[in-house]
Amino acid sequence: MTLTSVPITYTSGEQIEVYRFSIPVTIGVPLLALFLQTFLPRRIFSIFDLPLLVTIFFAMARRNPISGLLTGAAIGLAQDMLGPYPIGIYGIAKTVVGYGASSLGAKLDVENAGARFLVTLGFYLVHAAVYFTVARGMVNMTLNWSWSHGIVAGLANAALGVGLYFLLDNFKQRT
Amino acid sequence: MESVLGRYRNLTILVGVLFLQVLGLAVQVKRSADAENTRLIRIWAVDTITPFERVLVWAQNSGNNLWHNYFYLRGVRAENRQLKEQIEQMRLEQVRLSEDAEQAHRLQSLLAFKEQTIAKTVPAQVIGSSGSDLSRSIYIDKGSNDGVGLDMAVITAGGIVGKVLRVYPSTALVLMINDQTSGVGVMLEKSRLQGVLRGTANGTVVLERVMSDEQVMPGETVLSSGGDQIFPKGLPVGTVTKVSPGREMFLNIQVKPAADLSRLEEVLVITEKQEQNPVAETAGRVRAADILAQRLPSVPDKPAVDAATSVASGNKVVAPASATSSGAKSLAPIQSTAKPETNQHGVTPSVAKVPSSSTATAPGGTKAVSTGGAQVVPADAPSAASQTPKKTAPKAAASEPTLNSDSANAAGAITAPPAPKATPTQPKPTVPQPNPQPPATEDDPH
C-alpha cells in the first residue's frame, strides 16, 4: 500500500486515512469467511453473506478501487467454485461491489456505525441486483427476485456487518 | 489514448476484469450445453475446504455422541417404552399396507407394468453447504470413490432432499429441492395430479403446473412421480400447506418439504435403481391376524401335565399362547404322530406334548394335537380342520367348532368346548394319515 491518505473532495481539505492489512489477514480472513459460510448451520446463517461483508470491509478500508475490485473478484470467484452454478456470477457481483465500496470509501467517511449500516445495506442490494442480472441474463437461470427476502437479508447483513467491521478494525494497520 | 487510459485507469481495469469474467461465464455456459464436466479449479477449491469441514463435523459428532451416550440417558426408559408402543402400531399399519401393496403388485404384474425400486443406497454425512443464500446446496462426504454419480437422488427417511449436481473423488455437491433452479416431478397423493416442484427465492418450495380448476387441499401429501427419471416414484416429498390462485391458469401451491432441509445431517444417495416387473409375493408374508395374536393378551403357559389332566377330566385343552409360532390355534381333530416340520412361514411350530394324546403334521406342515376331545391346530393349517378329521375322528370333526385363523388369532388362545361324542375314556386308535392333503396355500381365504 503506497497511498497514505486521500482527500475528501466534497468537503474541506480533511484527509481520510487509508489502511492496510498484513498478509495473513488479507488471505486468512476471506478464507475464514468462505469456510464459515459453508460450514455454519444453514438454518441460521444461510441468510448472511460473510464473503460479501469481508469484501465491503476490505474495500472501504483500503479505499483503492483497483485493490477493492480485485479483492471482490477473488472472493467472488472462490465462492463460485464452492457453489452449484457457473463460476463467475458471484465474481462479477463482488467485483462491482468491491469497486463501488472502495470508491465510496475514498469519498466518504465510513467509520461510524450508521454509515456502515447503510453502506452495507446498499451494497447488499447492489450485489443481489448484479447477481440476478447476470444469472438471468447470461446464464439463463430461472431465478425470481423477492423484495421482502432481499430487504430482510440486506438488513440482517448490515446489522451483522456493523459488528463484524468493528471486530476487523483491530487488524487495521496505519500506512 | 494513453492519457485517457491513465485518467480512467480504475474504470478500465474494472471493465477488463468484468470482461474476463463474462468471457469465462460464456465459455462455461457454452460447454455446459455440450457436456457437464467438473472444472479442475472447482476440485481444488472443494478439496481445500472439505478436509477442514470433515474434521469439524467429526469433532462435532464425537462431542454429541459423548454427550448422548454417557451423559444424556435420562428418560431413555420412558422413551424406549414409548418407541416400543409406536413400533407395535407401526407393525399393524405395515401389515395393512403390505396387503395393499401386494394387491397393487398383483394388479401391476397382471398388467405387465414396470416399476422402479431402490436397489442400492449409500449413506452419507452432510459436511457443508454451498455457502450462499442465493443457491441451496450441500456437500456430502461421499463421492465418486464411493459410487456416487451425477444426477443420483438423495433422500432421507423423511423424504427427498435433492440430486447430485457435482461429483468429486471424496465429496459431492447436492442441489436441494428448494433451490430455485431445481425441479422435481411430483404428484399429489389423493388426487394424483402431477406437477413440478420448484424452490423460490426465500427458500420455500412451490408446486407448479397445476391448473387452477383443480381441487387441491392443504394437508395433502406430495409424492415423487418418477417423471424426472431421478427420483423413484412414490417417495414422500412434502405436504401442501397453502393453496392460492397463481399467475395465468395455474394454482400457487406451497409445499412444506417432508425432509427438514435446513437440518440435514445424514442422507442416503440412491446409487442404483432397478426397473422390474412387479411380482406378487406369495410366501413369507405376515398376516395381520398373526401380529394381533402375538400382541394381544393370551392365557399363560401351562405345564404339560396340567394340560393332560384337564384333558382327562373335562375334554378341554387350553392351548398355550407360546405353543405355536403364531401364538394361536384353531381346533381340529387329528390323531397321528409325525416329526416337526417347518411351516410355510419358515417357522417350526412347537406343540405342547400331552400324554395320552398324539400329534400329527397337518397339511401345510403344521401340527395338530389330539386331545381326545378337543384338538388344536395352528392357524397356519386352515384346511386341516375341514379335511383331515374326516378320516381320523369323524365324529369329533363334525361336532367341534373349528375356528378360522382370524378369530382364533384375535383371541390369542382358545379354550375349546368339550366334544359331545368323543370321550377320553374311549380314545380313537392312532392312524397315520394315508393320504395327506396338499399344503395350504396363500389362496386360502384367511
What is the domain partition of chain B in residue ranges? 43-74+114-276, 288-411
Q: What number is the average pLDDT over the span B420-441?
A: 43
Cα first-last separation, chain A: 7
Residue-wise pLDDT tens digits, A60-114: 988 889 999 999 999 999 988 888 888 899 999 999 999 999 998 888 777 888 9
* Least confident among A2-6, A47-51, B35-39, B188-192: A2-6
User: Average pLDDT over chain B, rounded to whole?
Assistant: 69
pLDDT of residue B280: 55
Rounded average pLDDT over B31-46 = 69
Would the CB atoms of A86 and B29 count as touching at under 8 Å?
Answer: yes
Contact list in A for residue B267 (CB cut-off 8 A) is: none
| Sequence spans of domains, chain A | 5-170
Determine whether the interchain pair B39/A87 forms a contact, defined as Cβ–Cβ distance below 8 Å: yes
Q: Which of A25-39, B51-65, B177-191, B254-268 has the lowest mean pLDDT?
A: B51-65
Rounded-to-5 percentages of helix, strand, coil across chain A: 70, 5, 25
Q: Return the residue of A nearest to B39 by Cα.
A: A81
Helices vs strands, H then E, count in chain B: 10, 16
Chain A, residues 155-174, CB within 8 A of chain B, namely none
pLDDT for the residue B133 = 74
The band of A163, judged by pLDDT with boundaries at 50, 70 and 90, is very high
Mean pLDDT across chain A: 85
Q: Which of A34, A36, A42, A87 to mutate to test the interface with B (most CBs of B within 10 A)?
A: A42
Judge whether B246 is closer than 8 Å to chain A, CB to CB.
no
Please report the pLDDT score of residue B423 as a whole number.
Answer: 42
A41 touches B: beta carbon within 8 Å: yes
Specify the fold of B43-74+114-276: Thrombin, subunit H (2.40.10)
At B62-103, the pLDDT tens digits run 887 777 776 666 677 788 888 998 998 898 888 888 888 888
Q: Which CATH class is domain A5-170?
A: mainly alpha
Query: Does residue B60 or residue B437 have the better pLDDT?
Result: B60
CA distance A153 to chain B (A): 9
Phi and psi for B295 in degrees, rounded to 5? -95, -30
Asked if B21's CB is within 8 angstroms of A84's CB, the reply is no
Q: Which of residues 200-219 of B touch A (CB under 8 A)?
A: 200-203
CB B156 within 8 A of CB B163: no
Question: With contact defined as beta carbons under 8 Å apart, do B291 and B327 qualify?
Answer: no
Classify burial at B339, counting beta carbons within 10 Å of its beta carbon; exposed 0-12, middle 13-18, buried 19 or more. exposed
Inspect the interface and report whether the beta carbons of B262 and A43 lie closer than 8 Å.
Answer: yes
Which member of A86, A128, A149 has the closest CB to residue B25? A86
| Dihedral sign of CA atoms A19, A21, A25, A27 in order | positive
pTM here? 0.60
pLDDT digits (tens, 9 = 90+) for B338-369: 444 444 444 444 434 444 444 444 444 444 44
**Is the Cβ pair A87, B24 closer than 8 Å?**
yes
pLDDT at A148: 86
Of all residues in chain B, the percent with pLDDT exceeding 90 is: 14
Strand runs labelled E in B258-334: 266-276, 329-330
What local confidence, expressed as pLDDT, does residue B407 receive?
A: 39
Q: Which pLDDT tens digit goes with each residue over B274-332?
A: 766 655 555 555 566 665 666 666 555 555 444 444 444 444 444 444 434 443 333 33
Q: Residue B41: closest CA among chain A residues belongs to which residue?
A: A81
pLDDT band of residue B213 (cuts 50, 70, 90) is: confident
Nearest CA to B157 out of B187, B189, B123 is that of: B123
pLDDT of B396 > 60? The answer is: no
pLDDT at B388 over 90: no
In this prediction, what percent of chain B has a pLDDT beyond 70? Answer: 56
C-alpha–C-alpha distance, residues B377 and B331, integer Å: 5
- Residues 96-125, chain A: which have Cβ within 8 Å of B? 96, 99, 103
Whether pLDDT at B258 is above 60 = yes
Residue B431 has pLDDT above 60, yes or no: no
The shortest C-alpha distance from A174 to chain B (Å) reads 23
Predicted local distance difference test score (pLDDT) of residue B338: 40
Which pLDDT score is estimated for B389?
A: 41
Alpha carbon distances (Å) from B429 to B90, B336, B392: 48, 9, 9
The interface residues of chain A toward chain B in range 2-31, judged by CB-CB distance below 8 A, are: none
Residue B445's pLDDT is: 39
B25 close to A (CB below 8 A)? yes
Task: Using alpha carbons, list the distances in angstroms from residue B200 to A50, A145, B75, B182, B204.
Answer: 22, 9, 40, 10, 5
Query: Would the CB atoms of A149 and B25 count as touching at under 8 Å?
Result: no
For position A44, what pLDDT does the model report? 65
